[in-house]
Amino acid sequence: MIEIIDFTKRYGGLLAVDRLTLKIAAGEVFGFIGPNGAGKSTTIRFLATLLRASEGDAIVCGHRLGRDPLAVRRSIGYMPDSFGFYNAMKVREFLDFFALAHRMPIARRRKAVDEALEDSGLSEKSNAPVGGLSRGMKQRLCLAKTLVHDPPVLILDEPANGLDPRARVELKRLLDRLRRAGKTILISSHVLAELADCCTSIGIIDRGRLLVHGPIEEVLGGIRHVRLLRVEFLENAAAGEKVLRDLDGLRDLRIDGDQAAVELAADDRRLAEILELLLASGARVTSYSVEEPTLEGIFMSITENDG
């Protein structure tokens, strides 16, 4: 559904994106993860036909971007990370304007606008002036504008910016409904936790290069993660703490009485060895648990190894 082929973008002597190649299958919710300045928005603007590649191309819904950008535009709904509004318009008028821009007939426009208002939680604001909306409401309106022409592909750049916690939950529910309806969604964020439970696959980009991508389960399983180990001692905690302080790959150690929180790079085999070392030291352990790896841990591990 989306295929990026050796996309490269240079701004003078600055290499913003370096030979990025990626395939996103139909029906995927793909999380594009990276810090600010990593190349996410540059790639997204290229897919949205707003930016020419220095090298490379892309195919969206069977249309080659370099050859037929208008066909690509008709196939996508694009939500930028920053946007402008016609503040004197009412919310419904604003959405109807964009539906008309997509050449939708009037009968279909009315239904499409109603559905976009409902999906974005703006039905009660349909007659409110756009200029009077809060930042979060304007973010919802931009998402509604993205959905109004019912495109098969959605490209969302930092869509959770400005949303309160309840609205973020509603956004995730909407993304799940859109996925089940057959939409292909590319969603970017520098806040990794926003994507952890709503994406089927992820890609991590840093300094213009795609470092890893694939189904979340494969990414989690194929990388040596930063793990958070929690240990509670019954007796001889000092001996156990010495073992922990001497561990290879130790990143952080926090001691609170008879409890220790250890952040380190370790696979499952290494974690089993650590427990054996603790018991051999004479420390009596009452609790030994490992938190599941997070997207934050994966990102730090990958980018540190890359640098």
Number of separate domains in the chain: 2
Domain-terminating residue out of 214, 241, 256: 214
Mean pLDDT of 108-137: 92
- By C-alpha distance, which of 291, 233, 305, 232 is closest to 263? 291
R_g over Cα of the chain? 24
Predicted local distance difference test score (pLDDT) of residue 227: 80
Domain co-membership, 157 together with 234: no
Q: In what helix (H) or strand (E) does residue 142 lie, and over which residues does it extend?
A: helix 135-147
Position 302 pLDDT exceeds 80: no
Q: Residues 301, 225: contact at Cβ < 8 Å?
A: yes
Segment among 114-123, 200-209, 292-301 with least mean pLDDT: 292-301
- Tell me, what amino acid is at 16? A
CATH number of the domain bearing residue 287: 3.30.70.100
Picking from 15-24, 79-88, 243-252, which range would have the lowest pLDDT averaged per residue? 79-88
Residue 249's pLDDT is what? 81
31: exposed, middle or buried (Cβ count in 10 Å: 0-12, 13-18, 19+): buried
Are 25 and 110 contained in the same domain?
yes
End-of-domain residue from the set 214, 241, 263: 214
Report the half-sphere exposure of 43 (CA within 13 A, side-chain side): 37
Least confident of 62-76, 223-237, 240-254: 223-237
Q: How many helices (H) and strands (E) does the chain have?
A: 10, 14
The answer as to whether 220 is a domain residue is no
HEC sequence for 9-55: EEECCEEEEEEEEEEECCCCEEEEECCCCCCHHHHHHHHCCCCCCCE
Task: Determine the structural domain holding residue 67 and report its residue range.
Answer: 2-214
Please check whether residue 235 is in contact with residue 284, taking contact to mean a CB–CB distance below 8 angstroms.
yes
User: What amino acid occupies position 222?
Assistant: G
pLDDT-derived band at 172 (thresholds 50, 70, 90) equals: confident
Same domain, 139 and 273: no
Which of 26-40, 68-82, 166-180 shows the lowest mean pLDDT across its residues? Answer: 166-180
The string of pLDDT tens digits covering residues 145-157 is 999 999 999 999 9
